[in-house]
Amino acid sequence: MNNFLQKNLPLVNKNNIINIKFGKKISQNIFETKILNNKIIENIIQNLKKETKFKKVYYQVLEFNYLDNVILKQNNKLHNFSYQVSDTISEQKTILSIIKINNDNQIIECPSEYNLISKYYKTVINIQSVLEIIIKKYQNYFTVDFEIKKPCQFLFIKKYISLIGSIL
């Protein structure tokens, strides 16, 4: 993980992000990201408050996925993008991916069937405009992701990965 981050952190931008999902590795090809306990999420937020100042933004989201296209209805606004995962590594508690995002689609695709339709509440915790911690609350569980959209220091990111990893 350290080599992966050190190699890719300088290359990050808004269209080439690093996504880090937290959970547990069940087998070589299965990674479970569901967090069933609300107290874990509260503990994460409390520990973040001790470490740094941050901004929180809340959204109600309806997400439509079709192949590599995503349509988000976020607080009554539509966002559309396609993505490509270019590299991925998994550890015991994290899975890291390099995701290339294409926002150039002016016309939103509307297939007759979607692969997945999700409804959730999203909390975005923004730390120094570099790291976004995204907590998604579904009906019966939560997920926690990091999105890195700007180049930053390895130790800065490692600190927050360790913080979340120690709680899970």
In this structure, what are the phi and psi dihedrals at residue 104, rounded to the nearest 5 degrees? -75, -10
- Model confidence band, residue 16 (pLDDT cutoffs 50, 70, 90): very high
Q: Examine the pLDDT at 78 and tell me if it is beyond 90.
A: no
Q: Examine the pLDDT at 106 and tell me if it is beyond 70.
A: no
Helix, strand, coil in percent for the chain, rounding step 5:
25, 50, 30
**19 and 31 Cβ atoms separated by less than 8 Å:** no
In this structure, what are the phi and psi dihedrals at residue 117, rounded to the nearest 5 degrees? -125, 125
Superfamily holding 2-167: mRNA triphosphatase Cet1-like (3.20.100.10)
Closest of 65, 23, 63 to residue 164, by C-alpha: 23
Q: Is the pTM of this model over 0.75?
A: yes
